[in-house]
Amino acid sequence: MRRMMKNSLRSGLPAILLICSGIGPVAAQDVPEDDPVVASAHLWDLDHNGTYTCDEWREYAIRIFNLADRNRDGYVDASEFRTIQQATPVFKEAELAYFDDNRDGRLSRAEFVSKPNPLFARYDRNGDCKVTAAELKGTADAAQPATKQRPERGRR
């Protein structure tokens, strides 16, 4: 029984700690709240400055990979991939095949880390590999339907 509890703690505790390490208030920004990429960005904003960078994403992806690679063989197989899917909403619907470039049924660290975060494709308007609060807000504003104001009758 003790051994089982110890193993459960050993495998589950890192996931809990990883997820909790980024828990905090999401910056008050006018962004789509139902976007899991944006909703989980605070988890990998390592310096907590509200600007999300490719380097921060890469570091976070490495941490997620290392957490999932329970047997420390340098690869994540299908059963280990479930840890990645449960780690953050970004990966909830992810499939191993998307990352598995060489189609060997397992992921190397390079395969996993090399995939870009969709946040940058959606929100990084100037291509500098940084997404700022202004870029998030600007994209959300652009997504709002424009309302034309009609000139009042008799006035020009």
The domain made up of 6-142 is a member of CATH 1.10.238 = yes
Q: Identity (one letter) of the amino acid at 97?
A: A
For residue range 67-110, what is the model confidence (pLDDT) as tens digits? 999 999 999 999 999 999 998 888 999 999 999 999 999 999 99
* Residues sharing a CB contact under 8 Å with residue 62, sequence separation 6 or more, in sequence order: 109, 113
| Residue 119 and residue 38 in contact, taking contact as beta carbons nearer than 8 Å | yes
For residue range 136-151, what is the model confidence (pLDDT) as tens digits? 887 555 444 434 444 4
Residue with tokens 């029984």: 1
DSSP conformation class of 77: -
pLDDT of residue 87: 87
For residue range 29-54, what is the model confidence (pLDDT) as tens digits? 455 567 888 888 888 899 999 999 99
Q: Does residue 2 register a pLDDT over 90? A: no
Which burial class, exposed, middle or buried, applies to 45 when counting CB atoms under 10 A from its CB (0-12, 13-18, 19+)? buried
Q: Is the overall model pTM greater than 0.85, yes or no?
A: no
- In the chain, domain spans: 6-142
pLDDT of residue 143: 46
| Residue 136 and residue 38 in contact, taking contact as beta carbons nearer than 8 Å | yes
